[in-house]
Amino acid sequence: MYRLIESIKLQNRQLQHVEWHNKRLNEARYLLFAAKNPIDLQQIVEIPSSLSDGVYKCRILYGENIESIEFQPYTPREVWTLKLLEADEIEYTYKYEDRQALNRLFAMKGEADDILIVKNGHITDTSYSNIVFFDGDKWITPDTYLLNGTQRQRMLSEGLIFETPVAVGDLKSFKLAKPINAMLDFEATATVKIDSCV
């Protein structure tokens, strides 16, 4: 049976935005495994006393139940260039442990830092994050995402970003792009110039 992953940012020994991770984990457990007993990650994740006040990824492996919890020191990867890759057949609705399809695409990035996946002519995600684009006024995220990330959901709910269709041809109307996921601090994450999306 397929297994899933939840990645939560641990900063200064505090789990960040855990309510959004609870929501996604429990929705996936219900839809994929018919699990009706909600799990509260805040109650079951025990933070080792050996961890410092830095930034860690809390990696939770689960199916119907939690299988493992581990902590890894985290340093964001720097992304300055994105290569557009078409992948009309790709599906990644849930955050599966099996990332073979995404890894195969990532291996085709060439000199770029990451990929920007195009499905049926529309922008979806990078290999490891959702994406937002700046139009000079506001930040836009495609409604054709592969994975509805927790950071994406939270920022939409707070009115920090806005969802709209983004076709490949629309890219020229934007000025900047930025990857977003639960591990990245939005303000501190570097922006990608649109002419670096090739």
Pairing of the two strands 162-164 and 130-134:
unpaired
Q: Are residues 126 and 32 in the same domain?
A: no
Task: Check whether residue 68 and residue 135 sit in a common domain.
Answer: no
Distance CA 19, CA 98 (A): 24
Structure pTM? Answer: 0.94
Per-residue pLDDT band for 52 (boundaries 50, 70, 90) equals: confident
Q: Are residues 112 and 64 in the same domain?
A: no
Tell me the per-residue pLDDT of 117-176, one tens digit each, with 9 for 90 and over: 999 999 999 999 999 999 999 999 999 999 999 999 999 999 999 999 999 999 999 999
Phi/psi at 125 (nearest 5 deg)? Answer: -135, 175
Q: If you compute the radius of gyration of the chain from its CA atoms, what whole number of angstroms results? A: 17
Looking at the structure of the chain, the number of domains it has is 2
CB-based contacts of 100, cutoff 8 Å, min separation 6: none
Q: What is the CATH number of the domain that holds 12?
A: 3.30.470.10
The answer on 159 and 91 residing in a single domain is yes
**What does the pLDDT look like over 63-97, one tens digit per residue?**
999 999 999 999 998 899 999 999 999 999 999 99
Statement to judge: residues 53 and 106 lie in one domain: no
Domain range for 29 is 4-73
Asked if 129 and 148 touch (Cβ cutoff 8 Å), the reply is: no
Residues 57 and 10 sit within 8 Å (Cβ to Cβ)? yes
